[in-house]
Amino acid sequence: MEFETWWLVLIPVLFSLGWLAARLDRRSDENTQEQVPTSYFKGVNFLLSEQPDKAIDAFLEVASIDTHTVELHFALANLFRKKGEVDRAIRVHQFLSTREQIKQSERERATYELGVDFLRAGILDRAEKAFFSLAATDLKADAARQLLELYELEKAWDKAIEQAHKLREFGAPIPSGDIAHFYCEQAQQAVDDGRFDDARQGLQNALLSEPKNVRASLLLGEIYFQQGHFEEAIAQWRSAEKQNPWYLPLVGPKMWEAFKRLSRMDEGIEALQTYCSMYPSIDLLLVLAKAIEEARGPAAAFVLLRDQVRARPSLLGLDKLLEHQLRDMNDDERSQDLRLTRELISKHTQRLERYRCQHCGFQAKKFYWQCPGCAHWDSIVPRRAEELDFYPVPLKKTA
């Protein structure tokens, strides 16, 4: 290979170009670092060290310096919301939703987050307005889901039904059991107002949505009971056994009352005994004990309770057994010992007699179809906490 003299000119030129490129690249890095305020890095460090209050202060400083940091504003508002400072999150999202300088998609996102802020703050009318404004955007499905939550909070069940069907059109997996409960809530309001025909129509819609919805069947029996059609009420409640027998304790007392009104007490006791045997429940046992006491006397009820507690031990059952035992006892030393024992047991059973959500663990003395803690439907089984600990019942599955 021969040496060319023009190489002597090319080599210094290439070296100079390389040096110039490196110099420009370094200056670009320096300019970039100058454009990012030090407060930003401080905020990140505070977040990594789990100091959210200091991180918020640092990011606020960045936001005041550079109003084009859109993602930083969203992150800052999210921090505010997590800390419970919803009013500050609202101000940030309102600022973003009105800025013409940012992309339309970012303004829509800010409007959606603003609606969530209003929903968390309980300002439901403004939340509804914000979500409605997104009906023709890519966020329409997310906004519709938030509207469904809003209508459940407002107990606006007609709107909730409409929104649930709309979500299904968007491809969202809304359980048919939830829609059935919306119809049942409508029907319950109608029953409370004495509008039994409207209630029946709502319950028929519930069963069309979810044929296995036991609540609709129980409520239909309640309508028959209130109208004095006790034969039909019993038949309706008995049909609910095919849907989900573990909900029978909810109607046990009224089922017994219906049998009494028809003067068919022996048949009622036999039905309750069958249910207690097949679907053991402390609530059904107490209804059966009351029925036997009314029909055959307190001694027979005591024998029933004693045998059942021995066969299926529970503190709740023992508490009721001691209550029966103490009724006719003389006020002697033995009875005082028993009263002390029952008093101690009663204090402990107050926690055990609660209903418990199998999704979030929420507990309450009252039975709820929708858990007040996590808002899930059918997550509370009508069995006391003590029973669920020892004799668990699977949750009802709905499509």
Q: CB of 209 within 8 A of CB of 229?
A: no
Please write the tens of the pLDDT for every residue from 157-208: 999 999 999 998 888 888 889 999 999 999 999 999 999 999 999 999 999 9
Task: Compute the distance between CA of residue 334 and CA of residue 353 in angstroms, rounded to an integer.
Answer: 27
pLDDT at residue 153 is higher than 60: yes
Task: Tell me the pLDDT of the chain averaged across its residues.
Answer: 82
Q: What is the Cα–Cα distance from 71 to 92, expressed in whole angstroms?
A: 11
Is residue 360 a known part of a binding site?
yes
Q: Is the pLDDT of residue 339 over 80?
A: no
Within this chain, domains 67-167 and 175-236 share the same CATH topology: yes
Give the closest residue to 234 by CA, choosing from 263, 268, 197, 200.
268
Which has more confidence, 101 or 107? 107
- Residue 297 banded pLDDT, cuts 50, 70, 90: very high
Residue 66's pLDDT is what? 52
Locus of tokens 């005994």: 273
Confidence class for position 44, pLDDT limits 50, 70, 90 = low
Tell me what pLDDT residue 349 has: 75
| Per-residue model confidence (pLDDT) at position 29 | 45
The CATH number of domain 175-236, selected from 1.25.40.10, 1.10.150.120, 3.50.50.60, 3.40.50.2020:
1.25.40.10
DSSP-derived secondary structure for 51-95: -HHHHHHHHHHHHHH-TT-HHHHHHHHHHHHHTT-HHHHHHHHHH
Top-level class of domain 244-353: mainly alpha
CA 23 vs CA 33, 109, 119: distances in Å: 16, 41, 53
Rounded mean pLDDT, 23-39: 50
User: 67-167 architecture in CATH?
Assistant: Alpha Horseshoe (1.25)
pTM of the model: 0.75
Radius of gyration of the chain (CA): 34
Q: What pLDDT sits at residue 18? A: 55
Of the two residues 283 and 48, the one the predictor is more confident about is 283
Is 276 assigned to a binding site?
no
For position 65, what pLDDT does the model report? 44
Q: How is the chain split into domains, by residue range?
A: 67-167, 175-236, 244-353, 354-399
C-alpha atoms less than 13 angstroms from C-alpha of 240 in its C-beta half-sphere: 26
Q: 22: Cβ–Cβ under 8 A, 6 or more apart, which residues?
A: none
pLDDT digits (tens, 9 = 90+) for 223-251: 999 999 999 999 999 999 889 988 999 99
214 three-class SS:
helix
Distance from first CA to last CA of the chain, Å, rounded? 81
Query: Rounded to an integer, what distance in angstroms lies between the CA atom of residue 349 and that of residue 292?
Result: 24
Query: In this predicted structure, what is the pLDDT of residue 209?
Result: 93
Which DSSP letter does residue 6 get? Answer: T
Is 374 known to sit in a ligand binding site? yes
